[in-house]
Amino acid sequence: MRLLVTRPERESQALAAELRARGHEVTIAPLLSIRYLDGVSLPKRDWQALLVTSANGARALGRIAEADLKRIPVLAVGEASAAAARAEGFANVRAAEGDVHTLDALAARVLDPAKGPLFHAAGSVLAGDLKAMLEARGFEVERLALYEAEKQDLPQDVLDALKDGQIGGVLFFSPRTAGQFAALIRAAGLPSSLGGVTAYCLSAAVAGELAGLGFRTVQIAAEPSLKSLTALISA
């Protein structure tokens, strides 16, 4: 099956290699490109823990964190963001199960509001308000945008492939990406061309952005993780 992967380029390349090894043809068309913000720095405080809600957040944090800060515990939203944090040199990393709600629950289990503030390495656009969740539990949370994800268009050859029924499935990992895809498909007049296409979605929130597009079926991962999402795709 020919699959369309819409993640940012870095994540798409690794995923495409995995899918090709399983016998699929893969086209990469990132709908978001990542730009790290200049002129930002990690405030100097006695942080109890650092929080990352994406692999890009982990990489952005690694760019600005000095060596001593890399010994501070990191709580990551999932295994991909945890792996990115470890690759950046953070020594004490724990992963939640894949979304801000499970990260909030993990923080509540292993951290103590009395033991110091938390720092959230965020993007310029948020998927869920982790800061508010943790503040409701009594934590002090400082959040700083370290990167932004800029919307990208679908290349014309990808639009043509969708129109001609050459793509059998599209993978979506965020509501923002799914929303951008929906907007581009509607602008191109192609919703009726998706009748033979399956949408593979990381969560119900992602799937919600695709309502009314006319996919053959919209499948939702059992849990918000890469492993769970790719398990939906038949060999």
Domains (range + CATH), the chain: 2-31+152-230 (3.40.50.10090), 34-149 (3.40.50.10090)
The residues, ordered by sequence, that sit 6+ positions from 111 with a Cβ below 8 Å of its Cβ are: 48, 49, 75, 118, 139
Distance (Å, rounded) from C-alpha 22 to C-alpha 42?
41
Chain segment 155-182, per-residue pLDDT in tens: 999 999 999 999 999 999 989 899 999 9
Give the pLDDT of residue 99. 84
Give the pLDDT of residue 66. 87
**Taking the CA of residue 150 as centre, how many other CA atoms within 13 Å lie in the half-sphere pointing to its CB?**
5
In this predicted structure, the answer to whether residue 235 has a pLDDT above a threshold of 60 is: no
> Whole-model pTM?
0.80
Chain segment 4-44, per-residue pLDDT in tens: 999 988 889 989 999 999 999 999 999 999 999 998 988 88
Read off the pLDDT of each residue in 107-121 and give the average, rounded to a whole number. 97
The band of 144, judged by pLDDT with boundaries at 50, 70 and 90, is very high
The band of 224, judged by pLDDT with boundaries at 50, 70 and 90, is confident
Give the pLDDT of residue 125. 77
**How many Å separate Cα 48 from the centre of its chain?**
24
Closest CA to 175 of 217, 152, 205: 205
Lowest mean pLDDT among 77-81, 83-87, 192-196: 77-81
Give the pLDDT of residue 213. 94
Give the pLDDT of residue 199. 97
Give the pLDDT of residue 122. 92
Give the pLDDT of residue 141. 97
